[in-house]
Amino acid sequence: MLADAPLAVEVKHVSKAYGDLHLLCNVSFELRIGELVAVVGPSGAGKSTLLHVLGGLQPANSGEIRLGGQLLSGLRGNALADFRNRKLGFVFQQAMLLPEFTAEENLMIPALIAGYNNKTAKARSHELAEILGVAERLSHKPSALSGGEQQRFAVARALMNRPDLILADEPSGNLDQSQANDLHHLFGELRSKFHQTLLVVTHNPSLAVEADRVFRLERGTLSEISSSDLHHDTPRH
Ligand SMILES: Nc1ncnc2c1ncn2[C@@H]1O[C@H](COP(=O)(O)OP(=O)(O)O)[C@@H](O)[C@H]1O
Ligand SMILES: [Mg+2]
């Protein structure tokens, strides 16, 4: 279905080690624009490290990463920070909304930092809150929101500057199953309705229902598995 879409992410022969700990060994893969891909693997396998390397938060030891055609290693300092702010959205296990601000203000902050005016930032925060089903919660402080609502606002915040790629690290890790299902369904909608590209690290099999592909990272190797393997998560012999 997405075979003709242009590439959002090109990873070629990327390796990353911390000392003797070889987390990524000659990893290569591509993501097409509008693809939702889940990444699974045992704790400590390097899933977060993979996202950090892709997001330019950690340098790879070798290999090439292109995001939207741009070579990541060609960007340094301010150019890299600017690229991250405009092209990438990050979602973590904790929503990390600023507690002293309302949800609306939390959404507006990254847009204001990127140089949008107040009116535009406000309009965009309302548009996204509407899409994510939390518009009526905009005036609340994070402490008055459920875990699922907080994570929806965290996703909305990641989308504020219209990023090309969302990198999410166990975003449903703190949610109950029903809230996790809702979040995963939302990721599916972002992909199909808005052509958002998403790479989501998860332990939760329910994301497989929405994902186009599932990658497994183990012992430095990234391999594509079928979503039924994710349900059982048992090694094949
Ligand atoms: N900045 C770092 N320096 C040294 N070791 C690190 C660093 N970041 C992660 N590690 C180590 O790399 C391994 C993989 O970590 P991580 O990418 O967080 O795995 P996962 O997300 O799959 O659980 C862990 O053993 C961790 O301690
Ligand atoms: Mg991790």
Q: What pLDDT does 4 receive?
A: 63
Which residues crowd ion ligand 2, with CB under 5 Å?
47-48
12 in any annotated domain: no
Query: Which atom of ligand 1 has the smallest separation from the CA of 50?
Result: 17
Query: Which atom of ligand 1 has the smallest separation from the CA of 45?
Result: 22
Number of compact structural domains in the chain: 1
Q: Which residue has the higher pLDDT, 231 or 169?
A: 169
CATH number at 183 reads 3.40.50.300
pLDDT digits (tens, 9 = 90+) for 155-205: 999 999 999 999 999 999 999 999 999 999 999 999 998 899 999 999 898
27 in any annotated domain: no
39: containing domain = 34-62+77-232
Query: Which residue stretches of the chain are H helix?
Result: 47-54, 77-87, 103-113, 118-131, 147-159, 177-194, 207-210, 227-232
237 in any annotated domain: no
Nearest CA to ligand 1 atom 27: 44
pTM of the model: 0.92
pLDDT digits (tens, 9 = 90+) for 87-118: 999 999 999 999 999 999 999 999 998 899 99
Cβ(9)–Cβ(54) below 8 Å? yes
Q: How far is the CA of 111 from the centre of ligand 2 (A)?
A: 27
Beta-sheet pairing, 62-67 with 70-71:
antiparallel
156 in any annotated domain: yes
pLDDT digits (tens, 9 = 90+) for 52-90: 999 999 999 999 999 999 999 999 999 999 899 889 999
199 in any annotated domain: yes
Q: How far is the CA of 4 from the centre of ligand 2 (A)?
A: 32
Q: What pLDDT does 190 receive?
A: 94
Residue 44 contacts by C-beta under 8 Å, 6 or more apart in sequence?
A: none
Please list every protein residue whose CB sits less than 6 Å from any atom of ligand 1.
18, 21, 23, 41, 43-49
